[in-house]
C-alpha cells in the first residue's frame, strides 16, 4: 500500500477521544466529561452505555485574563459491547481521535543463548530494556559504574555540601542515570503504544496517576529515586542480576558468537550486550573509538542555566490566574532561529534548583532539578545555543574536548573549588561583571557561586547566540531578560556529542550482538525517548533470542 493512503477509519468505534473542551480552572474536570456526554446525546448516541474519562489535560494561557484548562475526554463502551457509529459522529460535526487498544507485544525468537543478556547503564534506556527482558524470562544482568539509589544520593549530597566529588557516582552516573536528578519531565506522543507502556509502568512503580493525563507530565527527583529503586528490585526478583560500581572498560565479540565485557569487577560473558552508557561516559566513547566501532560527531548544545523567581514566571505566563491551585507552576519553552544557528530553553524546572553535575575532576557542570511539588522559590532552565560539527572540526574527540575545555574554564573562573561562575543577565548583556545577587539568589550548591565573565568562558558564537536569545525571549515572556536574573555556567551535557552508529537490526555497525541505544548512543533526548529506545532494543532482542530456561 502506498504511504499516502490513510488507514481506513472503522465504521463503528469502541474507544475514541473528543478534544477541545475548554473550561475555567474553577470548574471540576467531571464537567468536561458531562459536556462530551451531552454532545453525544444530542447526536443520538446513548451516553448511559458509555464510559467517560479524562484523556489529556493542558493549560491554555494565550489570554492572560481568561486562562483555561483544555480537556480531551476518552469515550469507551461501558459494557464492552456498545459501539458508536463513526458516520453519526461525522454528521453531528464531532471530531474524534480513534484510540488504539493495542498493547506492547513481545515476539520471542528461537536462537539459543549460552549466557543472559548484559545491559550496561541504569538510566531510563537501560532500566526499561532490562525490565522488559526480565518480565519476559530473559534474566538480564544490568550494571552501572555508579552506586545504588541510597548511596548515590548520599555521595551526591556530599558533593553539594562539601565539594567532595566521586567521579564514579554522581549526578551523571549511578542507578537511574542523569534523569533521576532532573524535573522528571516525560515528553509524550499521544496514542503511542510504547509511551503508554512507559507511563503505565512508571505508575506501577509509584509515579502519580496524573502523568497519564497531563499534557506536560513530570515526576520529580524526590519520587524518581524511589521508582528507580523499585524497578531494579523487580528486575532482581525476576531472576535478573543488578551490579553497582561496575564500569565497562572493554568489549570483545568471541569466536562462538558470545560477548565478553571487560569490567572493573571482572569479565562478564553475555549472549548480547546492550550499550546504554549515558551522555557523560566519555571514557566509554574513547574505548569504543579505539576499537572498530563506527562513531560519528553530531550536533549538540552549550550554554548556561538561567534563574528567575518562580512567582515572576507564574505572573508572566498566567497573569491574574498565577497561583491557582489547579494550574500548577508556570513553565515555558522558548526558541529563536533567526540567526540561522538556534538558541532555545531546555529542561525548564519550575520551583527547582540548579545542581552541580560534574563527573570529572577539575570541571564545573550545571544542570536543573525539581521535586514533584515544584515548591522552590526559583525557576530555572537551560539557555542553550546549538553547536554544529563544523564548529569543532567534525571530529568526535574534538567534540568531547570542547565540552571538557569549557568545564575546566568554569572550574577555574569559579575559584577552583567547584564553586560555579555566575553573572547577572544585565551584566552579561553589557559585557561586565560587577553585580551581586540581590532579589534572586543562586541555588547552585546553596549559593556556592562566584562572579565571573561568562563570555570569557564560552565561545563567541555561543555568547552571541545567548544574548540574542535573551532579548528575543524577553519579548515573548515579559521579564525573561530581567537585569537581576542569574546565569550560572556551564551547561555542557544536554545531549551526547557523538552517535554510535547502528544498523537496521539496532546492532552496532560491524557487530552482531552489541546494541548501542539511548541518549548516550545518540538516539534519544530525554527520559521518555531514552526509555522508548530501550524498549525498542529489548523487543529486538526478544524477537531474535529464546528466553532463558
- 370-399 pLDDT, tens digit each: 999 999 999 999 999 999 999 999 999 999
- Residue 391: the pLDDT is 96
- At 475-497, the pLDDT tens digits run 999 999 999 999 999 999 999 99
60 and 168 part of one domain: no
Whether residue 4 lies inside any domain: the answer is: no
Whether residue 154 lies inside any domain: the answer is: yes
Is residue 9 very low, low, confident or very high in pLDDT (cuts 50, 70, 90)?
A: low
266 and 402 part of one domain: no
305 and 241 part of one domain: no
Is residue 429 very low, low, confident or very high in pLDDT (cuts 50, 70, 90)?
A: very high
204 and 314 part of one domain: no
Percent of the chain with pLDDT over 70: 98
Whether residue 107 lies inside any domain: the answer is: no
141 and 19 part of one domain: no
Whether residue 457 lies inside any domain: the answer is: yes
The predicted model gives 108-137 an average pLDDT of: 96
Whether residue 275 lies inside any domain: the answer is: yes
Whether residue 170 lies inside any domain: the answer is: yes
Q: What's the CATH number where 282 sits?
A: 3.50.50.60
Whether residue 124 lies inside any domain: the answer is: yes
321 and 465 part of one domain: yes
Choose one of 98, 131, 160: the last residue of a domain. Answer: 98
The string over 21-54, giving b where at least 16 C-beta atoms fall within 10 Å of a residue's C-beta and e elsewhere, is bebeeebebeebbebbbebbeebebebeebebeb
CA–CA gap between residue 38 and residue 16 (Å, rounded): 16
Looking at the predicted structure, is the pLDDT value of residue 188 above 80?
A: no
253 and 279 part of one domain: yes
- At 437-486, the pLDDT tens digits run 999 999 999 999 999 999 999 999 999 999 999 999 999 999 999 999 99
How many domains does the chain fold into? 3
Choose one of 454, 472, 491: the last residue of a domain. Answer: 491
- Residue 484: the pLDDT is 98
Domain interval for residue 145 = 118-296+498-544
**Cβ neighbours of residue 334 closer than 8 Å, sequence gap 6 or more:** 344, 345, 469, 472, 473, 476, 477, 480
The string over 93-102, giving b where at least 16 C-beta atoms fall within 10 Å of a residue's C-beta and e elsewhere, is ebebeebeee
Judge contact between 207 and 186, C-beta under 8 A: no
447 and 524 part of one domain: no
Whether residue 408 lies inside any domain: the answer is: yes
134 and 214 part of one domain: yes
Looking at the predicted structure, is the pLDDT value of residue 213 above 70?
A: yes
Looking at the predicted structure, is the pLDDT value of residue 180 above 70?
A: yes
81 and 220 part of one domain: no
Judge contact between 488 and 413, C-beta under 8 A: no
- The side-by-side arrangement of strands in the sheet containing 68-77 is 50-60, 68-77, 15-23, 97-98
- Residue 36: the pLDDT is 98
Looking at the predicted structure, is the pLDDT value of residue 4 above 60?
A: no
Query: Which parts of 65-107 fold into alpha helices (H)?
Result: 86-91
The predicted model gives 14-26 an average pLDDT of: 96
Is residue 190 very low, low, confident or very high in pLDDT (cuts 50, 70, 90)?
A: low
486 and 523 part of one domain: no
Least confident of 92-106, 407-421, 462-476: 92-106
Is residue 6 very low, low, confident or very high in pLDDT (cuts 50, 70, 90)?
A: very low
The predicted model gives 50-70 an average pLDDT of: 96
Q: Give long-range contacts, CB 8 A cutoff, 24+ apart: 334-339.
A: 334/469, 334/472, 334/473, 334/476, 334/477, 334/480, 336/468, 336/469, 336/472, 336/473, 338/468, 338/472, 339/464, 339/465, 339/468
The predicted model gives 221-237 an average pLDDT of: 98
| CA neighbor of 32 nearest in space, from 63, 74, 3 | 74
150 and 281 part of one domain: yes
Average pLDDT of the chain to the nearest whole number: 95
The pTM (predicted TM-score) of the whole model is 0.95
Strands 420-424 and 449-451: parallel
Amino acid at each position: 500500500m502506498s504511504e499516502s493512503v490513510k488507514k481506513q477509519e472503522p465504521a463503528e468505534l469502541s474507544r475514541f477521544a473528543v478534544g477541545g473542551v475548554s473550561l475555567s480552572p474553577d470548574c471540576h474536570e467531571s464537567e468536561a466529561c458531562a459536556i462530551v456526554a451531552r454532545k453525544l446525546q444530542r447526536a443520538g448516541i446513548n451516553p448511559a452505555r458509555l464510559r467517560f474519562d479524562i484523556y489529556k489535560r493542558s493549560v491554555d494561557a494565550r489570554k492572560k485574563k481568561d486562562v483555561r484548562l483544555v480537556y480531551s475526554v476518552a469515550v469507551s463502551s461501558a459494557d464492552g459491547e456498545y459501539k458508536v457509529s463513526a458516520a453519526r459522529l461525522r454528521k453531528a460535526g464531532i471530531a474524534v481521535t480513534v484510540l488504539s487498544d493495542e498493547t506492547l507485544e513481545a515476539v520471542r525468537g528461537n536462537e539459543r543463548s549460552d549466557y543472559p543478556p548484559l545491559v550496561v547503564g541504569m538510566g531510563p534506556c537501560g532500566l526499561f530494556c532490562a525490565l522488559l527482558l526480565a518480565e519476559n524470562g530473559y534474566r538480564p544482568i544490568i550494571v552501572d559504574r555508579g552506586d545504588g539509589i541510597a548511596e548515590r544520593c548520599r555521595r551526591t549530597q556530599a558533593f553539594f555540601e562539601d565539594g567532595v566529588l566521586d567521579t564514579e557516582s554522581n549526578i551523571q552516573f549511578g542507578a537511574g542515570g542523569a534523569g533521576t536528578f532532573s524535573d522528571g519531565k516525560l515528553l509524550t506522543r499521544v496514542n503511542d503504544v510504547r509511551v503508554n507502556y512507559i507511563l503505565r509502568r512508571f505508575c506501577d512503580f509509584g509515579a502519580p496517576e496524573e502523568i497519564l493525563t497531563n499534557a506536560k507530565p513530570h515526576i520529580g527527583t524526590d519520587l524518581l529515586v524511589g521508582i528507580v529503586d523499585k524497578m531494579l528490585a523487580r528486575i532482581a526478583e525476576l531472576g535478573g542480576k543488578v551490579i553497582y560500581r561496575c564500569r565497562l572498560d572493554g568489549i570483545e565479540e568471541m569466536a562462538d558468537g558470545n560477548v565478553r565485557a571487560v569490567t572493573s569487577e571482572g569479565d562478564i560473558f553475555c549472549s548480547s550486550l546492550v550499550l546504554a552508557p549515558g551522555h557523560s561516559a566519555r571514557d566509554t566513547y574513547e574505548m569504543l573509538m579505539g576499537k572498530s566501532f563506527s562513531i560519528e560527531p553530531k550536533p549538540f548544545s552549550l550554554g548556561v542555566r538561567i534563574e528567575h523567581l518562580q512567582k515572576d514566571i507564574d505572573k508572566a505566563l498566567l497573569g491574574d490566574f498565577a497561583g491557582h491551585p489547579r494550574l500548577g507552576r508556570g513553565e515555558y519553552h522558548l526558541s529563536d532561529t533567526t540567526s540561522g544557528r538556534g538558541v532555545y530553553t531546555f529542561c525548564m524546572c519550575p520551583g527547582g534548583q540548579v545542581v552541580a553535575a560534574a563527573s570529572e575532576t577539575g570541571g564545573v557542570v550545571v544542570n536543573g532539578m525539581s521535586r514533584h511539588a515544584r515548591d522552590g522559590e526559583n525557576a530555572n532552565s537551560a539557555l542553550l545555543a546549538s553547536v554544529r560539527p563544523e564548529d569543532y572540526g567534525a571530529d568526535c574527540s574534538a567534540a568531547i574536548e570542547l565540552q571538557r575545555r569549557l568545564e575546566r574554564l568554569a572550574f577555574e573562573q569559579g575559584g577552583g573549588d567547584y564553586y560555579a561562575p555566575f553573572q547577572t543577565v544585565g551584566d552579561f548583556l553589557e559585557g561586565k561583571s560587577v553585580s551581586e545577587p540581590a532579589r534572586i539568589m543562586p541555588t547552585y550548591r546553596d549559593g556556592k557561586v562566584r562572579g565571573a565573565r561568562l563570555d570569557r568562558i564560552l565561545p563567541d558564537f555561543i555568547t552571541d547566540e545567548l544574548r540574542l536569545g535573551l532579548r528575543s525571549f524577553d519579548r515573548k515572556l515579559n521579564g525573561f531578560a530581567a537585569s537581576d536574573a542569574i546565569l550560572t555556567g556551564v551547561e555542557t551535557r544536554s545531549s551526547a556529542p557523538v552517535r554510535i552508529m547502528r544498523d537496521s537490526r539496532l546492532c552496532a555497525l560491524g557487530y552482531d550482538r552489541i546494541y548501542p541505544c539511548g541518549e548516550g548512543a545518540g538516539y534519544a533526548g530525554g527520559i521518555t525517548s531514552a526509555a522508548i529506545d530501550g524498549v525498542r532494543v529489548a523487543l529486538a532482542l526478544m524477537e531474535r533470542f529464546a528466553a532463558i530456561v
